[in-house]
Amino acid sequence: MRQRLWMTAGIFLLSCMSAWAVYPERPITLVVPFPAGGPADALGRAVAQAMGARLGQSVVVENRVGAGGLVGIASVASASPEGYVLGMAGTGAMIYAPFIAKKMPFDPITGVTHITTLVRTPNVLVVNANSPFKTLADLVAKAKAEPHRITYASAGIASSAHVVGELLQVQAGIKLVHVPYKGGAPAIQDLMGGHVDVMVAEASGVRGAIRAGTLRALALSDSARLNVLKEVPAAPEVGLPGWIADGAYGLVAPLGIATDTLKRLTDAANEALASPEVIAKFNDMASLTQPGNSAQYRALIKAEQERWAPVIRAAGITAD
């Protein structure tokens, strides 16, 4: 009888160990809620490839676009919590949207499992290479002399570029005219074509154009210069110490994910972020790896929501 009990207990223990050891036993989907070929997509694919190598399974990127990232992350929030559907959540969906969207399809604080922070991407104020604005001081002087004359492009109403552009106006004491586009790519194209005057964009999305000389960067929305954009002054250097506005991406999963699975994913993500290939890829895109954990990502979201809520409300930004 005792031998049978020991055998039963041993089988149960082995089955538990086996269940943990096989995760992941099939490919994992990483939902990137932004268009394929864009900067966020490139960052997500770099993380996916590096995580897959450490998990022993493919991490396949799936682009689910819509509502500034809400569509994609909502699909993650409603997925089964076995750990096979993850999401690369951006600033718009997790920080801005609760104060802009008419109805949130999930709660960024309580509606998902936060795995870890991933990357931060400083914003940069850019103009056409032929623009008369050589410095931010040139732009501010013109805008103060002629309010509501200078146009600034964004990827759309309530997009990150729109919100960060509003903060820039508050910090600089100027009034610009917002020109929303259906995405960052057409906005950048019109900026290069001279159809709009300026744009706030994530550095990762315009690094190539700055390098090629088709866009000129006036200021970086960070507290210090980036190594790959050493020529671009940081916000405090141009008299805007409050214009700190990085894009923040993190890794999320559905609620209810197993503790062991969460740990494996957190470890794999942080190991990926520490890898030379990911660091090099992010640096080339003027982005910074940001390893962390669930608590740190949740705290970041809470703090950023508190910081941006008054800016959004004062500007009257809505999803309409």
- With contact defined as beta carbons under 8 Å apart, do 164 and 209 qualify? no
Q: What domain range includes position 134?
A: 123-238
- With contact defined as beta carbons under 8 Å apart, do 62 and 31 qualify? yes
pLDDT tier at 158, thresholds 50, 70, 90: confident
pLDDT tier at 260, thresholds 50, 70, 90: very high
Q: Which residue has the higher pLDDT, 67 or 132?
A: 132
Residues 127 and 117 in one domain: no
For residue 150, is pLDDT > 50?
Answer: yes
In a domain, 12, yes or no: no
113-126 tens-digit pLDDT: 999 999 999 999 99
d(CA 115, CA 28): 15
Residue 297, token pair as written in the block = 């990502």
Among 3-17, 44-58, 177-191, 268-282, the least confident range: 3-17
Residue where one domain finishes, among candidates 214, 238, 262: 238
For residue 10, is pLDDT > 60?
Answer: no
> pLDDT value at position 21?
56
d(CA 49, CA 183): 26
- With contact defined as beta carbons under 8 Å apart, do 60 and 54 qualify? no
For residue 319, is pLDDT > 80?
Answer: no
Residues 141 and 226 in one domain: yes
DSSP for 86-113, please give it: EEEE-HIIIIIGGGT-SS-SS-TTTSSE
In a domain, 5, yes or no: no
Number of independent structural domains in the chain: 2
Residues 149 and 289 in one domain: no
Q: What percent of the chain has pLDDT over 90?
A: 78
Q: What is the CATH number of the domain that holds 54?
A: 3.40.190.150
Q: Which residue has the higher pLDDT, 197 or 19?
A: 197
Burial class, 89, CB count within 10 angstroms (exposed 0-12 / middle 13-18 / buried 19+): buried
> pLDDT value at position 3?
55
- With contact defined as beta carbons under 8 Å apart, do 138 and 144 qualify? no
